[in-house]
Structure 1
Amino acid sequence: MKWDPNKYVQFADHRDRPFYDLTARITAATPRLVVDLGCGPGPLTHSLAERWPDARVVGLDSSEEMIEQARAKQHADNLSFESADASNWMPKPETDVLVSNAMLQWIPEHRQLIARWLEALAPGAWFAAQVPGNFGSPSHTLMRQLADTERWAPQLAGVLRHDDASGEPADYLKILLDAGFESDVWETTYGQILSGPNPVLEWVRGTALRPVLARLNAEDAAEFEARYAELVSEAYPAIDDHRGGTLTLFPFRRIFMVGRKR
């Protein structure tokens, strides 16, 4: 599956806010190595380099497109970007801060991965991650239901994750506590207001719809998108913004976990 960095940052204001809410809970003073796992195109990783100028900050992502753009546009003396597959990656002993923002939901075994990473981190190290908790929302359920219809099931069977792609807050809290971490786990539902025609479709084009687009040819992808656009516009009706345009309310639940190893 290929990522489109430009499409991903289309809603940067909304996508970036959870990262800052997450990392604000990290109070590490002088970390040696800070890792951003699933760094995407890199601007948020750059903010970590600015926050901790004496640390070595590394952004990791499995998407060559994301890493290429990050290296081209994000520069600091203490910042670098590398390709890595999170499913077989392990933190180095000197890792003092490990951050993962909106990435783990793509990995079915991420709960087991988290446990292994926490075990590998040294005492005093920080772990902070955020995952979407909206897989039961219409934006996702309608996509899965459409993919399961007679028209699309032969091509899309098994492509889309189910509503358990992310765990619940209690699941992550237990993982952190079992690993000996002082833990802070919470959830937030952002009342996101999007503008433009069918903006929820535009949103998922940058994330959840990517596996579908990767599986279908151009003609079929356009057909799938057209039907999905009809369904999602009914689920998220636009309202008049009193200036001649329209706005769409797109609630988005996210789950946060932050901990420091005792």
Structure 2
Amino acid sequence: MIDWNPDLYLKFGKERTLPSKDLISRIGLENPARILDIGCGSGNSTNELKKRWPNAEIIGIDNSSTMIEKAQLLYPEIDFRLMDATEDLSSLGKFDIVFSNAAIQRMTGHEELIKKWYALLNTGGTIAIQLPLADDIKGQQALYELEYVKKYKPYFEGKKLRFNNHKPTFYYDVLSHLSTAKDIQIWTTTYMHVMQGFEGILQWYESTSMKDYLNALPSDEFRENFKNNYLIKLKNVYSLRADGSVLFNYKRLFVVASKSK
């Protein structure tokens, strides 16, 4: 089984960390006492939270032991824990900030999840969530198209492989229907990452959403064939620049809300 590869994931650390910085910049709290980072991965977003609020108690949780071990190695001063964010998190106590950067798309039941995470907030606290909008990312759609290739299809049937995301209005409505939610901010940003050829985009996906596809395939030969076919699809939807780079457009949704009395 192919587990998360923290080193490959962090090959694009700058690109993956930028959205967390943008999300943090919209949180108006000056002195939060406790912060929870849900789906912290290798800890890059958690470290940004620590840099912004160095005096806060910060807990990062993730369901990948490999990623948690990497986070503990990189940032030993932060409290990282192996936990499933879809389970009951009330044992962790209350927080002034509940933060989740690019994690909820790998979970189902977003309305209930957001309500559960929001319930962890102290009065006056802030929830901040970011997730990719897969429908607007050509590289993600190219990956989905391979599900229907005859030789792969039997191995993918019945498996939850795709990102879960809704339209921005869905997330606004979930929060706006909570009686104490106020100051809701919602926006999208399309990042244009400069990748080293089509192989750069392949590596980006190998470290995240392609992992589940590769795990479903029966052999290394199948996996290499799948990656080669994905490269062909990338060449049909992206253009190589004169310097050998590919401009990789990646659209993300951001949602921030405060909890009033």
User: Same fold by TM-score, threshold 0.5 exceeded?
Assistant: yes
Post-superposition CA distance 1:3-23 (Å, at most 9, x none): 111111111121111100001
Partner-residue secondary structure (3-state), 1:207 = coil
- CA offset digits 1:17-69 (Å, max 9, x no partner): 11000011112122121011111111321222232222111110000000001
Q: Alpha-carbon deviation of 1:119?
A: 3.2
Question: How far apart are the structure 2 equivalents of 1:9 and 1:135?
Answer: 24
**Stretch deviating more after TM superposition (134-143 or 29-38):** 134-143
TM-score by length of 1: 0.91
Match for residue 56 of structure 1? Answer: 57
Map 1:74-85 onto structure 2 (within 5 A): 74-76=75-77, 79-85=78-84
Superimposed CA distance per residue, residues 81-116 of structure 1 (whole angstroms, 9 cap, x where no aligned partner): 000101113254431111000000001212221022
d(CA) in 1 for partners of 2:76, 2:69: 12
Q: How many residue pairs get matched?
A: 255
For residues 146 and 209 of structure 2, the distance between their equivalents in structure 1, rounded to whole angstroms, comes to: 14
Match of 1:219 in 2: 221
Matches within 5 A, 1:25-64: 25-64=26-65
Report matched runs for 1:104-119 at 5 Å: 104-119=104-119
- Taking structure 1 as reference, are residues 213 and 5 closer, same or farther at Cα in structure 2, changes over 3 Å only? same
Given residue 156 of structure 1, which amino acid in structure 2 is its aligned partner? Answer: F
Whether the 8 Å contact between 1:126 and 1:261 is mirrored in structure 2 is yes
In the alignment, is the contact (CA less than 8 A) between 2:240 and 2:246 conserved in 1?
Answer: yes
Secondary structure at the aligned position of 1:198 is classed as: helix
> Gaps (5+ residues) in structure 1?
none
Query: What is residue 4 of structure 2 aligned with on the other side?
Result: 3
1:201 aligns with 2:199: no
Structure 2 partner of 1:172: 171
Could you say if the C-alpha distance between residues 135 and 9 of structure 1 is closer, same or farther in structure 2, counting changes exceeding 3 Å? farther
- Distance across 1 between alignment mates of 2:160 and 2:135: 11
Q: How does 1:78-97 map to 2 (within 5 A)?
A: 79-91=78-90, 92-97=92-97
Q: Percent same amino acid at aligned positions?
A: 29
Aligned to 1:70: 71
CA distance in 1 between counterparts of 2:198 and 2:133 reads 25
Is 2:98–2:120's contact at 8 Å kept on the other side of the alignment?
A: no
Of residues 229, 232, 255, the one that matches 2:231 is 229
Preserved contact between residue 159 and residue 212 of structure 1 (Cα < 8 Å): no
Contact 1:32–1:94 under 8 Å retained in 2 = no
Change (3 A) 1:187 1:122: same
For residue 171 of structure 2, what is the amino acid of its counterpart? Y
Instruction: State the alpha-carbon separation in 2 of the partners of residues 239 and 19 from structure 1.
Output: 28
Residue 153 of structure 2 corresponds to 153
Residue by residue, what CA displacement relative to the aligned partner does 1:108-155 show, whole Å, maximum 9, x if unpaired?
212221022223423211100100013343312222221222111111
- In structure 1, C-alpha distance between the alignment counterparts of 2:63 and 2:162, rounded to whole Å: 22
Give the TM-score taking structure 2 as reference length: 0.92
When residues 63 and 184 of structure 1 are mapped into structure 2, their CA distance, relative to the original with a 3 A threshold, is: same
- For 2:231 and 2:158, the matched residues in 1 are separated by 21
Partners of 1:38 and 1:166 lie apart in 2 by 16
Q: Which runs of 5+ in 2 are unaligned?
A: none
Aligned to 1:128: 128
Contact kept? 2:38, 2:101, Cα under 8 Å: yes
Report the CA distance shift for 1:254/1:127 in structure 2 as closer, same or farther (over 3 A): same
Root-mean-square deviation (CA, aligned residues, Å) is: 1.7
Matches of 2:137 and 2:93, distance apart in 1? 39
> Once structures 1 and 2 are overlaid, which stretch shifts more, 22-31 or 140-149?
140-149
CA drift of 1:161 comes to 4.1
